[in-house]
Structure 1
Amino acid sequence: MGYEAYVIKYSTRVTFAKGCLRDLDVLGMRSSQKGFRGHFESLVHNAQLFRLGRQRSWRWTSLNSLLKGYQSKSIHPSEWAHFPQHLLHSWGGGILPDDFDPSMPDSTSVLSSELSNWYQKVREDLAEKLQLAYPAVLESPVAPELEVSTAEAAFDLAAVVFSCASCLKATYHLGTALVGWDNILAHICSSKLGSSKWHGTLHWSEKGHASALALMELVGKDPRTTTAEDMDKLDARFFCGNCEYTDFTGVQWKKALKWRECLTHVLYCVKPGHDDNPQTWLLLSEEATQHADEVDIAELEIGRDLVYFPNLFTRYFERPNTMFQTLSKEEIIWKLR
């Protein structure tokens, strides 16, 4: 093929390509792009609706099938409070003893009394431990509004602190400082059943008791009559006098703790060298406490220095000119006065 024929052949292709490029330029105009964009968006939206409709229909079908299967195997709600009558004789005593009496009362009628008896048994067992560890509180007068016996009223006092041995040995800290009967009972009911019979792992905490007395002395409360609820309503904040933290920027700071968190702190999260010095607590002023309430940061701390959960860290800073300016020990003491 000669040079002329080569030029004619490929010039035709170039002309055709230019025509295609011209059409592409038209498609590439902004108005055309908007038109195609709306078209494709409608297609995608319709496809999404179709997929969601099929998925929703499939889920309803699965739930209906599961519900029908459950209903076919379950008993009528009117019989939930009673043992199924057809099981009394069908299994030949495999479940029920031979001396089972079908006329026994319903479980709902005896559950309340059974729980009350169990609560009373737990309180009596813990009261014996309390009498051995802290007899002074049983001999002192208690608040007149506590209409229970002296030993049982002591469980609501802020100075009575119990600890769970299982929580102290493990990596759990929720049961390290239990103050108040509601707090004790909640921990017992959330524990797993074992040889300890729930409350068998609870023991008197001398360290927690000493810290509670020190905290009440700082806020001017009488430990003989001050309850845990009274301290909760006070909402005071404290610094641990033995702990100081430094973050990755080199800024030193302290944790502003509530009174229950102080007890957990002294029992659970002790930094190296913490027990070498006598425990001291610093009370924040009203201004500092108000500032602490405003800048509380709820976040988790990872590592062995976990103090409590939820962990409320309060970094008390002054910011006059620099981004962060920490307070010296003398300045903190001056502000706490």
Structure 2
Amino acid sequence: MKTRRQSGTLPPSNSLAEQDSDSEFEHEIDLYNDESDQSDYDATGRNADQPAKKKRKVSAPKKNASGKENSEELTLSTLSLDLLYEIFSEMEPADLLALSHVDKAFRQVLLSEQFSPVWKAACRNKGAPKCPSHLSQVKWAYLLFGGSACFSCGSKGIMRIDFALLRRACVRCLKTNLVYSRRFAQFFPDIDPTIMTLVPHTNIGAHAHGHASNSKFYWADDIRNMHQELSTFKKGKRKLKSGKSENLEDFKAARMALVTQIVEYAPRCKEWSSEVIYEKRVTKAQLQGQRVNEIRERFKAMGYTSDDVSCIKSWNTTGEGPVTDRIWTRVLKDREAEVIKAKTERIRRELEQLRYSRSTVLQGQYSTYKSALPPSAWAYLPRIRELRQFPQVASILDASPDIPVNTTIFDDIMRSLNELISSWSNHKRAELSEIVESSLPSTGAAVVNSTIPVVDRLECASTVFTCSGSGCSAKDRVLVSIKGALVHGCLTSRRRYSSFQLSEDLEESTEITFSPRLSAAAASIIETAGLNPLTVLPSDLDTRILRFVCLQCPPQKHGYVFGRKAMSWRQCLAHYAEMERFVEHALPSWERLSDAVTSNIVRREGPDPADHARAWTCSHCPAHVDNLDSRASVVQHVKSAHNVDEPRTPANYFFYPGASRPLRKEVIFPMIDPNSNKTMDPNANFRCIMCGNSARRFVQVGIISHLKDKHKVLETKEGVHWAQVQS
């Protein structure tokens, strides 16, 4: 099917009602006809020539039996014209238009010349532009206030009025009926193009989305009607109904003047219409806002709060009137579930905030309690999250919101805290003892054959536990002796929480188990160091400067150095824990490095990274009870606050047992690479310590010459400047 653009023709025109020959504006919409009860366009904008819809049959109302009652009925049709005039003067244009369709009597009254001032006043009261001289007040009122229906097809919601064409038109009708001036000949090949000077035009096309341009567009029916109007002239003249004759030239001159008047007046009317549309939108938004506020108030009356109702960001309401019971029932059905969910979440937050406030009070009082104890005892006290789990404490934290938050709510707890902590500590030690006892048959031989009581064995460095917490790294997962297990507390991976989220939400319950495998590894390390695994404490090993290599790990290249990793005894345990899944590490096997090599290893390791960790505390006072600090800061505190010139650990300060201690830098113990292509002198068993990780080997004379030439060392010492390589 060809479109009108392809065919160059317009669809057939809708028939229009015949207009008076002496009409000032022949092609305007004949909204009302005094001689007929129907206009060409009814109140909805539908063409009257279109077939009317079949009316639904209704039963006629029953007549009153009493004629007296009928005679007493008072209707508008029985009122005097003066009284009607007064009534109609108070009405708005839209109401007058609706009233004009009540019956023929009202129509005749409202359309009479006598009531023209009523229409004029109604339009003026609404701030409407002055009615043009070529239109009647009724037609002007209909154009401005006659609803939002398209004048051609009756489609609703057409807010924009084209004041040049004097009509409302939907986009579909605009596309169908507008004629672009440059394509006039395509659509009207038999009509003189000069006719366009006699017809008003608009500068807003059908595809312009309401935006003006410099082009001219004409309504097709206006052109047809004008062409028909011109055909009434015979030899340049025609007779009017009044009997007078009219010249064609005079008619054209009047028409061109009228077209100019319409086109020039249209922008002013458009500006007013835009303001009205904007005000309607603002008013609609205000009314919808009032409806939303009314809905919110109804929710509040049901016991919900503003926070509960504010969860609904968009109400999707299109209504502007008050909230009826029917509307409220529908709103409840659609939205109450969201409000209930928001209320539940609000109550949870409020209880959480209340619990946090109470926990803050507990934290302060617990810090005061800890401050009265020696710092060495802090690590063996329950952590604040463990204290919150005490039934006596939890009952206060979770108490009714009616109980106020103050500094006295935990007074009873503080008075009995010594007994509570003692009971907790004994219970925890008993649990760990039971864990070790139940695992003894599978422990190493050194542990099994011992006759030392289990309780004493718990303090030994050969008793190792592990933590299953997901927040523990390999080095933190290894817990040496019962003290390591008692002070351990692991953190899960950090997540985003509200500002008052309790710290216990960042921690998970720690499950500590006895590890026969790591206990056997610890016993092997202790035996390799020449000590008794049943009597050595972790502090004994920490005070000794010992380095080991794992013999289960084959020597390999680490960068440019061939050899094995040199490790402290704690690094050995962490290494063995990491290698649990490898068959090669089923049994532990270690080698202790000589004192000379160990001194070189320690020198190459550099400063202990634990010195910079904020995990040190003073041994004399509670200055760091809630504020652990670096080693240097704590040492300075001990010097200034306690007048100790040379602070020593652990007498004056110590690393907090419950903190995660960073391991020292890994250093490679160099060895001879058997796969090296270089031929090496079998007597080259000396290595330069001052060259760091260099794998170069020297004979005895060569190492002395090397130190003298490169490092300017004249008097060499073993373990300081050179070391003998163990093959």
TM-score class, shorter-chain normalisation, is 0.5 to 0.7
Report the secondary structure of 2:524's partner residue: helix
| 2:620 corresponds to 1:314 | no
Q: Match of 2:542?
A: 232
Report the secondary structure of 1:166's partner residue: coil
Give a deviation string over 1:245-278, Cα, whole Å, max 9, x none. Answer: 5334x422322111111111101256x9563664
Aligned-residue offset at 1:204: 1.6
Query: 2:475·2:571 contact (CA, 8 Å) conserved in 1?
Result: no
Q: CA separation in 1, counterparts of 2:608 and 2:410?
A: 52
Q: 1:216 to 1:276 in 2, by over 3 A?
A: closer
Give a deviation string over 1:49-80, Cα, whole Å, max 9, x none. Answer: xxxxxxxxxxxxxxxxxxxxxxxx99xx9xx7
Aligned-residue offset at 1:237: 0.9
Over the matched positions of the two proteins, sequence identity in percent amounts to: 21
| 2:460 corresponds to 1:157 | yes
Query: 1:298·1:313 contact (CA, 8 Å) conserved in 2?
Result: no
Aligned-residue offset at 1:223: 1.9
Query: 1:285·1:336 contact (CA, 8 Å) conserved in 2?
Result: no
2:592 to 263, 283, 294: 283
Aligned-residue offset at 1:211: 1.0
Q: 1:176 to 1:274 in 2, by over 3 A?
A: farther
Q: 1:299 to 1:225 in 2, by over 3 A?
A: closer
Aligned 1:40-119 pairs, distance under 5 A: 93-94=400-401, 96=403, 105-119=411-425
Q: Match of 2:562?
A: 252
1:127 to 409, 433, 438: 433
Aligned-residue offset at 1:117: 1.6
| 2:523 corresponds to 1:216 | no
Deviates further, 117-126 or 316-325? 316-325
Give a deviation string over 1:62-115, Cα, whole Å, max 9, x none. Answer: xxxxxxxxxxx99xx9xx759xxxxxxxxx943559xxxx89844333333322
Query: 1:163·1:177 contact (CA, 8 Å) conserved in 2?
Result: yes
Q: 1:179 to 1:320 in 2, by over 3 A?
A: closer
Report the secondary structure of 2:572's partner residue: helix
**RMSD of aligned C-alpha atoms?**
4.3
Q: 1:188 to 1:122 in 2, by over 3 A?
A: farther
Q: Match of 1:268?
A: 578
Q: 1:155 to 1:285 in 2, by over 3 A?
A: same
Report the secondary structure of 1:316's partner residue: strand
Query: 1:297·1:314 contact (CA, 8 Å) conserved in 2?
Result: no
Give, as a single letter, the amino acid of the residue that structure 2 aligns with 1:176: R
| 2:477 corresponds to 1:176 | yes
Q: 1:326 to 1:231 in 2, by over 3 A?
A: same
Q: CA separation in 2, counterparts of 1:138 and 1:277?
A: 19
Q: CA separation in 1, counterparts of 2:608 and 2:556?
A: 16
Report the secondary structure of 2:483's partner residue: helix
Query: 2:466·2:477 contact (CA, 8 Å) conserved in 1?
Result: yes
Q: 1:81 to 1:183 in 2, by over 3 A?
A: closer
Aligned-residue offset at 1:234: 2.3
Q: CA separation in 1, counterparts of 2:477 and 2:570?
A: 10
Report the secondary structure of 1:188's partner residue: coil
Give, as a single letter, the amino acid of the residue that structure 2 aligns with 1:247: H
Q: CA separation in 1, counterparts of 2:467 and 2:419?
A: 27
Q: CA separation in 1, counterparts of 2:423 and 2:448?
A: 23
| 2:603 corresponds to 1:294 | yes
Q: 1:188 to 1:115 in 2, by over 3 A?
A: farther
Query: How many residues are treated as equivalent by the alignment?
Result: 223
Report the secondary structure of 1:156's partner residue: coil
Q: CA separation in 2, counterparts of 1:312 and 1:323?
A: 14
Give, as a single letter, the amino acid of the residue that structure 2 aligns with 1:310: L
Q: Match of 1:326?
A: 695
Q: CA separation in 2, counterparts of 1:160 and 1:225?
A: 11
Deviates further, 113-122 or 103-112? 103-112
Query: 2:462·2:481 contact (CA, 8 Å) conserved in 1?
Result: no
Structure 2: 5+ residue stretches without partners: 1-356, 367-398, 493-502, 610-660, 671-686, 698-723
Query: 1:161·1:205 contact (CA, 8 Å) conserved in 2?
Result: yes
Q: Match of 1:185?
A: 486
Give, as a single letter, the amino acid of the residue that structure 2 aligns with 1:178: L
**Bigger radius of gyration among the two:** 2
Q: CA separation in 2, counterparts of 1:279 and 1:104?
A: 51
| 2:469 corresponds to 1:166 | yes
Query: 1:316·1:326 contact (CA, 8 Å) conserved in 2?
Result: no
Aligned-residue offset at 1:235: 2.7
Give, as a single letter, the amino acid of the residue that structure 1 aligns with 2:466: S
